[in-house]
Copies of this chain bind each other. A is one copy, B any other.
Amino acid sequence: VETPTSTELESAHTARSAPGALGRPSLSREQIIENAIDVVDRHGLTALTMRRLGQELGVEAMSLYRYVNSREDLLEGIVDQMIAQLHLRPGHAPLQPTDDWQAYLRWLAHRVRELARTHPNAFPLIATRHPAAPWLRPPLRSLRVVEDFLAMLSSTGFNEIRAVTAYRAFSSFLLGHLLLEISLLDTQPSSAPEPLDAGKPAAPHAELSLDLARFPHVKRLEAELSEDRAAAEFEHALEDLLNRLNRLMTEQ
């Protein structure tokens, strides 16, 4: 009875994914969450439906409830799994007093930016869902990451109170810059690829020109305003923040 009988799948339906051929469970929470992230990346948050996700996994929607408690729980799982990518890498040696906290913050900042840019549709979840505790602030909302952060700064010259202040300043820097950056990225759902309509000659364009007449500064600076300076601004603001934190650390 306990022996894993290699049952061939009943071919009443089209062949879905591989069933538990070698005894591996055909579903797992991790796999579900990974697939969910994928759906969100490709089609946006509103496209993430229990039914659709099940379909993507070759399973009925109700099966998912064995691994997630609800859609809300699924979203929570997405946030957790994404944030988990910010844990210190295994290769990273244990913290040492000589470690450079500025190098660490630069590394962390770029990791978070990378995360936001590769998952622009999911990042708003990280930004806006209520953290589980008041000491978790988006986007650095995992105990482990906060622990790393505080440990690193405390071991390199910050007294602990100031390390907390630094955590707060760093969090809002990341949140502001990255949310702004991805809000300009165009990863629209665009499931309907814009039906051509000869009767409507560039309607949105007309609207804009019309409006802009009333706003001379915006009109004159349109090109400048539209320019994408996200990368340079991020680096600049980051260095600015590091200087500020350095002043904070050495203050009287």
Contact = CB atoms under 8 A, between A and B. Distances in A.
A147 B215 contact: yes
A150 B244 CA distance: 27
- Give the bracket for the number of chain A residues in contact with chain B: 35 or more
> Which of A164, A183, A208, A224 lies at the interface centre, i.e. has the most chain B CB atoms within 10 A of its CB?
A183
Interface stretch (A14-22, A83-91, A97-105, A174-182): A174-182
A75 B168 CA distance: 31
Contacts of A215: 143-144, 146-147
A124 B135 contact: no
B128 A127 contact: yes
Contact of A218 (B130, B135, B171): B135
A215 B171 CA distance: 19
A9 interface: no
Nearest to A130: B183
A237 B150 contact: no
Given A130-B188, A168-B229, A179-B127, A207 B137 contact: no
Interface of A: 12, 124, 127-131, 133-135, 137-138, 143-144, 146-147, 150-151, 154, 160-161, 163-164, 167-169, 171-177, 179-180, 183-184, 186, 188, 207-208, 211-212, 214-218, 220-222, 224-226, 229, 233, 237, 240, 244
9 contacts: A124-B128, A130-B188, A135-B221, A143-B214, A150-B221, A171-B180, A172-B177, A175-B176, A176-B177
